Amino acid sequence: MNKQDKKYLENYSIHDFDIPLTSVDMVIFAIIDGELNVLLVEREEAPQQGFLALPGGFIDLQKDEDITATAYRKLYEKTGIKSPYLEQVESIGNKNRDIRGWSLTVLYFALINRDKIKGQKSQNSQWLPIKKALQQNLAFDHKVLIEKAQNRLREKTLYTALPVELMPELFTLTELQTIFETILEKKLPIKSFRRRILNANILHPTDKSKLSGKRHAQLFKSTGIDREYYFPRTLVL
């Protein structure tokens, strides 16, 4: 920092300017009982006390090095969950989304596989199927935020292998296809889907299997590069 900047800061106060409320909100997705679910938290204090809302909160200037650090911190504080995948969706700000005044939120979505959410319940949080969640009277503009995150997840499902993040450690190809179909709300051709997945080399076959109908189906596991993989072609629905 040069002398001119130091002198400037001696008389500078950020509070001399109007500052919008700034927060981070998260749409946390999981597949539960064959449906795409989202985690909602009941607000414990005003404004909109008692309303269901997305997990999130304000930036801590002392603890958070950046916005993503805020997202990971609030995710853990609100849910006790540490997601391996967190993605920034969009920044939304205006004077109408919060009764306290002009506010800005940075929206993230997280993916949790169903094994990790077992036992992750608290008195003021609940998992709801996304269609049911969107029918609730949610706090602030959180219904819009959920829709934005869901659209981003759908878009990425068309050209990446990101849905693998929702799977348990071991799974069948049929179970993986079902996850893709659940997100896209569309049936996919079995042969072309399996060819697409197996040619990508994003899964390791194991020597284990599970009974699926009347047959034993081979179990696979992720190679760990799934979130970075982009398919050469987008799925055509």
d(CA 21, CA 105): 8
Portions of the chain given CATH number 1.10.10.10: 160-228
Instruction: Cis check for the bond before 47: say yes or no (omega within 30 of 0).
Output: yes
Instruction: Of 234, 227, 90, 109, give the one whose Cα is nearest residue 163.
Output: 227
CA angle 179, 181, 186 (to 5 degrees): 170
The separation between CA 200 and the C-alpha centre of its own chain, rounded to angstroms, equals 24
Query: Which ranges in the chain are annotated with CATH 3.90.79.10?
Result: 18-150
Torsional sign, CA 171, 230, 83, 147: negative
pLDDT in tens, the chain (237 residues): 888 888 878 887 777 778 888 999 999 999 999 999 999 999 988 999 999 999 998 999 899 999 999 999 988 887 677 767 899 999 999 999 888 889 999 999 999 886 776 555 556 889 999 999 999 999 999 999 999 999 999 999 999 999 998 998 999 999 999 999 999 999 999 999 999 999 998 999 999 999 887 889 999 999 876 667 899 999 987
Inter-residue contact 56 to 26 (CB < 8 Å): yes
Give the Cα separation of 162 and 10 in Å (integer). 48
Assign domain 18-150 to its CATH superfamily. Answer: Nucleoside Triphosphate Pyrophosphohydrolase (3.90.79.10)
Q: Which CATH number fits domain 160-228: 3.40.50.2030, 1.10.3470.10, 1.25.40.80, 1.10.10.10?
A: 1.10.10.10
SS3 content of the chain, % helix, strand, coil (to 5): 30, 30, 40
Q: Which tokens is 185 given?
A: 């709300």
